[in-house]
């Protein structure tokens, strides 16, 4: 089995840019969402009074934080989709 070496243009500027941008973006996003997500179990484990604190009527801080996690998930997915358009464009240039 031989591996076809990539064409010379494969390592062009667009590709370098794609790798750098993509890595930086996904790493930042991943670290951010993991930190924000783990607020939930850490607070639920170590700060029960805060989680049980009523904020809006009977809705507790814990429920608000949990719902905020869902919104965070959707927002981060949206940001990624927007950013991915740049990646797609760079990938196309890199392949050309």
Partner 1 sequence: MTFLLAAIIVAVTLAVTFWASRRNTSAGDFYVAGGRISASQNGIAIAGDYMSAASFLGITGLIALNGYDGFMYSVGWFIAYLTVLFIVAEPLRNLGKYTLADMLVYRLKDPRVRTYAAVSTIVISTFYMIAQVVGAGSLISLLSRGAISADLAIPLVGVLMIIYVVVGGMLATTWVQIIKAMLLMFATIVMTVLILNRFGWSFSNLLGQVEAKNGAEFLGAGVKYKNPIDLISLCLALVLGTAGLPHILVRFFTVPTAQDARKSVVWAMALIGAFYVMTAFMGNAANALLGKDAIEAANKAGNMAAPLLAENLFGGAGTLGGEFGLAFVTAVAFATILAVVAGLTISASTSFTHDIYNGVLKGGQASEKDQFRVARLATVAVGVAAILLGLAAKTQNVAFLVALAFALAASANLPVILFTLFWRKFNATGAMWGIVGGILFTLLLIAISPNIMKIDPDTLTTGRHLIQANAIFPLENPGLISIPAGFLFAYLGTLIGARRHTPEDDRVFEDMQFRAYTGAGVDGTVAAHD
Sites of contact with partner 1 (CB under 8 A): 1, 3-6, 10-11, 15, 18-19, 22, 26, 29-30, 33-34, 37-38, 40-46, 48-49, 51-52, 54, 56-60, 62-63, 66-67, 69-70, 73-74, 76-77, 80-81, 84, 88, 91-92, 94-95
Compute the least distance from the CB of residue 90 to partner 1, in Å: 8
Q: In this complex, which beta carbon is closest to partner 1, that of residue 6 or of residue 13?
A: 6
Contact present, 39 and 65 (Cβ < 8 Å): yes
User: Computed from CA positions of residues 40, 76, 74, 68, in that sequence, does the dihedral angle turn out positive or negative?
Assistant: positive
Instruction: Count CA atoms closer than 13 A to 12's CA, side-chain side.
Output: 12
Measure the CA angle with vertex 74, ends 72 and 77; round to 5°: 105
Compute the least distance from the CB of residue 87 to partner 1, in Å: 8
């Amino acid at each position: 089995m031989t591996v076809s070496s990539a064409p010379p243009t494969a390592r062009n500027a667009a590709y370098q840019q794609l790798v750098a941008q993509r890595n930086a973006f996904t790493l930042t996003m991943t670290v951010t969402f993991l930190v924000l997500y783990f607020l939930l179990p850490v607070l639920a484990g170590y700060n029960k009074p805060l989680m049980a604190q009523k904020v809006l009527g009977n809705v507790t801080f814990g429920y608000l934080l949990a719902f905020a996690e869902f919104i965070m998930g959707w927002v981060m997915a949206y940001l990624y989709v927007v950013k991915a358009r740049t990646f797609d464009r760079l990938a196309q240039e890199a392949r050309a």
